[in-house]
Amino acid sequence: APRNFFVGGNWQLNGNKQEIGNIINFLTAGNLDPSTEVVCAPPTIYLEHVRKTLPSSVGVAAQNCYKVPKGAFTGETSPAMIKDVGVEWAIIANWAKVGHALEAGLKVIPCIEEKLEERESGKTEEVVFRQLKAIADNIKPNQWQNVVFAYEPVWAIGTGKTASPAQAQEIHVKLRKWLNDNVSADVARKTQIIYGGSVTTDNCRELARERNIDGFLVGGASLKPDFIQIVNARQ
Ligand code: PEP
């Protein structure tokens, strides 16, 4: 297959040292499908601790990063700092930060979002293509291997409402076709497009059966041992 399954765990604003210890324990003990790429995104303050404690087979991501290396930007964290503590990835919800993060050597998970009113007014395609273009314009030809897109319908995040497999597959197919028509056939074939929004042990297998859903970005369920089953959804 041209694309490995890829599952990211976004811990959002959750966890303390003890709870993170529990997550690291179940990730370390769990039987993770070796053909699935797994990446966990703890809150910034725990990034180095998690990187030092997790097995190296599990990637670590920052949940956000800033768009310049250093300066008078109070409270921000730069890609250079993230790399400096050994962390390889950043989830990036703001397209304007993608180019700098890639230049700094991070791998990125840019999020492509869709609001409920956009879906209901038939604007989904327009809004996801606009975001994909803004991101793609900041990616150099040799950087595509460091990009995993996450399609995240905002109405499905933390709401318990999941996009149906057919709804997610439809958008993923459109995003891949856009890459084919506007970047290259090779990039379209190889770039992973993962789905995020209330993925659980109940819906992950059905979603994972869709050929264009290359994995998940998991929020709430990534804090629990359920996450192992979601990582293994293709098995
Ligand atoms: C997320 O945090 O990216 C997410 C999709 O959250 P949840 O799985 O809880 O909807």
Alpha-carbon span 111 to 123, nearest angstrom: 17
Asked if the model's pLDDT at residue 146 lies above 90, the reply is: yes
Task: Return d(Cα 26, Cα 228) in angstroms, integer.
Answer: 8
pLDDT of residue 87: 98
Per-residue model confidence as pLDDT tens digits over 198-229: 999 999 999 999 999 999 999 999 999 999 99
* Ligand 1 midpoint to CA 48 (Å): 22
- Mutate which of 6, 11, 12 for ligand 1? The one with the most ligand atoms within 8 Å of its CB, which is 12
Side-chain-facing half-sphere of 31: CA atoms under 13 Å: 4
Nearest to 128 by CA among 137, 119, 138: 119
Residue 39 CA to ligand 1 center (angstroms) comes to 14
pTM comes to 0.97
Mean pLDDT, residues 139-166 taken together:
94
Which of 151, 217, 223, 227 is the pocket-test mutation for ligand 1 (most atoms within 8 Å of CB)?
217
User: Domain 5-231 carries which CATH code?
Assistant: 3.20.20.70
- C-alpha dihedral, 127 to 128 to 130 to 132, nearest 10°: 170
Q: How far is CA 39 from the centre of its chain?
A: 8
Average pLDDT over residues 54-58: 96
* pLDDT tier at 160, thresholds 50, 70, 90: confident
Quote the pLDDT of residue 55: 95
Question: Residue 56: its pLDDT value, please?
Answer: 95
Quick: pLDDT tens for 91-136.
999 999 999 999 999 999 999 999 999 999 999 999 999 999 999 9
Show me where the domains of the chain are located: 5-231
- Ligand 1 test: best mutation among 152, 213, 227, most atoms within 8 Å of CB? 152
Q: What is the pLDDT of residue 45?
A: 98
pLDDT value for 130? 98
CA of 218 to the centre of ligand 1 (A): 5
* Residue 1 scores a pLDDT above 90: no
- At 90, list the tokens: 């950043």
Given a cut of 90, is residue 2 above it in pLDDT? no
What ipTM does the predicted assembly reach?
0.97
Which atom of ligand 1 is nearest to 198's Cα?
Answer: 10
